[in-house]
Chains A and B, each alone.
Chain A
């Protein structure tokens, strides 16, 4: 660890926070194009966040301090996660302190606070949303862990930078185990980020909501932070996927300034493609009936386990 990486670390987090709404805007824009609509423009999520910050917050009389705390915990967790995930370079000093298991735990903690905040007000929707959110969460987390374990077996480490360094170095080898893991990870990503076919981020039907039902009571700056951390969560998940399955273009270690400079357009290019793919999936699929979600996530888990087994069988 050197001074340079200590300066770069907060810059990386700030970068992630800054571009996160852009990815959401891109996905929404692609979705609009694929549906034959004009779309609201790339910058719409920024406008929404700015609008929300200019509003006065309305808080239910029955809310406890926990309710106000949740948006900040959400945002902080996602920002911290952005400091662990090697999105541009692998020398992140935070990553040596927290490995992939801790990362999964961080996501779980954020979800737990979200569920607590939702139940805090005591409305039927909040509790319903919290219940469903936990249902999705407790099925998605083991699958995500399995994906990480598969990658860890290849690199003999659960440290994220070590995994990515190991994967990025053998440029030409193909890991069948990672093929299984990548499909599993995609399913987890859809479920964790409340995307179709698991949840519908743009619905206004309160009875069908999963994630949205948990944040129905939030307004103004609290809602802005929650929306922003949702964007950041999507960016984090996409970056995890990119780091595990297409790690090329990342700067190794702290990297030379030129490497870092190259890593930025490489990341944007990858996000561009990933966003389009995500919008494509969301356009051609309908939302599943709620009780199909466990089957969907069980499949994800099974695929991740298969990846693990394939690795053990083949030895690479």
Chain B
């Protein structure tokens, strides 16, 4: 049953892009009520961001992307140019807390929340500067900041001490700071501090021409290049009202599934390695390398970066390459069967995996866990089906599922999704429609708002795009890591310190994708 939003504000329209969107315009006051009723109906928060409309005489505009049973709802809240503020929705959707803090750091639009610590701003610019505002001057504004310390939540008690890890780690990995409060080896609390890879991607998007910025979208998080560039193109195509040819959509889906397979293979190997089972890393790395080499041969890019462009895909797939990809599928399937058997039968691995880093379905629902980790904790939502879009609406996608919520469940869901993605890849390759791979583009981009939502390997990747005069006014690429990082803190409670790398890897969240 579709929810009725008329009591909260004006339901403006139902946009028909690849993903149908309902727009609700409202004021700050009913925002919390609206969110609460969506939450009670089983809906989730997908993203929250703010854009600056003062240049054209308006104020600020807060957008909250929610998902209910019927699909995506964008709640638009107009805020005044002077002293903009809105009631925090972090009490309803806990994941919103960090999004609200980041929105303040970037635009100076404050949510009325208890937690006022900076999130993105790491002493790099002063407190009264807001880089995403149109009148931000990067030369004069990056003065020294006053706040030098970040108050972590302290745990006190007999024998409690802190272990500070990162942002620089012993291995070559992305930077993030983890503050553990522990008694002996047992973790009482974990607090994350991210934002070390903030590089101003959203600022860079503004003033870029809308056609061409898909290249930047592909680089938001390198492991999700396909998901982000597809979501970006989906949003842009919704604004332009263009429909890519069927063959292009099928090829995009093929890219997305191959990206999923590559990442799941890498993660499964790394999970084995983190449990001290090095032979798994060697084998899975080999399979992953074979796959991305095939990508290079078939599509000209190992990680399929820049393969998707507005209106279609960059290059067509010829017959011989189509057969090459098809022939590799059964080989990979049989090797995966063997490896999956080894994982299931290995007592040492199972001992490490089962019961570790458990997120119960109840907790997952309450905290809004999404994507792969969500499906391992009983949250079935998958953007390929809910709300679903072409070509997945004809493919009967069967996402992985478990209700255990531990590391073992996330391993098992990865295996299930690998086999499912291989099945989908085979269908996509066998029944690839014969048409052009790239549609024509309009000469100009109309002003407007468009949304793209794609199920990347990690979870739903959302892009909210606003154009004005052919250039980008605001683009918000949203990685599912925003919702899932806070859940990792809860997954650690009661576990032992040396199990953190394993639990962390089982989520494998993006730093770059959310620091932007």
A contact set with B: CB distance below 8 Å: 31, 34-37, 124-125, 128, 196-197, 200, 202-208, 216, 282-292
Q: Does B201 contact A (CB under 8 A)?
A: no
New A-B contacts (6) at CB < 8 Å, excluding given A34-B279, A36-B279: A36-B283, A206-B169, A285-B348, A288-B352, A289-B496, A292-B351
CB distance from A176 to the nearest CB of B (A): 28
Q: How many residues of chain B have a CB within 8 Å of chain A? A: 32
- On whether the beta carbons of A285 and B276 are closer than 8 Å, the reply is yes
Q: Is the CB of A204 within 8 A of B171?
A: yes
Output the least CB separation between A91 and chain B (Å). 41
- Could you tell me if B163 and A128 are in contact, using CB atoms closer than 8 angstroms? yes
- Which A-B residue pairs are the 4 nearest by beta carbons? A287-B276, A204-B171, A286-B348, A205-B501
CA distance A10 to B25 in the complex (A): 86
Interchain CB contact (< 8 A) of B165 among A204, A207, A287, A292: A207
Q: State whether B279 touches A206 (Cβ < 8 A).
A: no
Chain A facing B: main interface SS: loop
Other-chain residue from B163, B279, B496, B501 in contact with A283 (beta carbon distance below 8 A): B279
Render B429-463 as a binary contact track against A, CB cut-off 8 A, 1 for contact.
00000000000000000000000000000000000
CB-defined contacts of B352 to chain A, threshold 8 Å: 286-289
What residue of chain B has the Cβ atom nearest to residue A282's Cβ?
Answer: B278
Does chain A have a CB within 8 A of B328? no
List the B side residues contacting A202 at CB < 8 Å: 278
Complex Cα distance, B170 from A290, in Å, reads: 20
Chain B nearest CB: distance from A286 CB in Å?
A: 3
Known: A285-B276, A289-B351. A208 touches B346 (CB 8 A): no
In the assembly, what is the distance between CA of A124 and CA of B349, in Å?
28
Contact with A along B164-189 (1 / 0, CB 8 A): 11000111100000000000010000
Name which residue of chain B comes closest to A202, CB basis. B278
- Contact check, A290 vs B496: say whether CB atoms are below 8 A apart: yes
A196 contacts B276, CB within 8 Å? Answer: yes
B321 interface residue per 8 A CB criterion:
no
Contacts of A287 in B (CB 8 A): 275-277, 348, 352
Set of chain A residues within 8 Å of B163, measured between Cβ atoms: 124-125, 128, 207
Least distance between A113 CB and chain B CB atoms (Å): 23
Contact (Cβ within 8 A) B279 A207 = no
How many whole Å from B3's CB to the nearest CB in chain A?
44
A286 to B408, CA, bound (A): 15
User: Given A35-B282, A36-B286, A290-B185 in contact, is the A206-B277 Cβ separation under 8 Å?
Assistant: no
Q: Are A206 and B496 touching (Cβ within 8 A)?
A: no
A4 and B497 alpha carbons, distance in the complex (Å): 54
Q: List 5 A-B contacts (CB under 8 A).
A: A204-B172, A206-B169, A216-B170, A282-B278, A289-B499
Task: List the A side residues contacting B278 at CB < 8 Å.
Answer: 31, 35, 202, 282-283
B341 within 8 A of A: no
CB atoms of A288 and B351 under 8 A apart: yes
Kindly list chain B residues whose C-beta atoms are within 8 Å of the C-beta of A207.
163, 165, 497-498, 500-501
Minimal Cβ-Cβ distance residue in B for A124: B163
Q: Given A34-B279, A36-B279, are A205 and B286 also a contact pair (CB < 8 Å)?
A: no
A264 to chain B, nearest CB (A): 32
Contact (Cβ within 8 A) B170 A204? yes
B68 within 8 A of A: no
- Does B489 have its Cβ within 8 Å of any Cβ on chain A? no
| A197 B351 Cβ-Cβ under 8 A | no
CB-defined contacts of A36 to chain B, threshold 8 Å: 279, 282-283, 286
Residues A205 and B170 in contact, CB atoms below 8 Å apart: yes
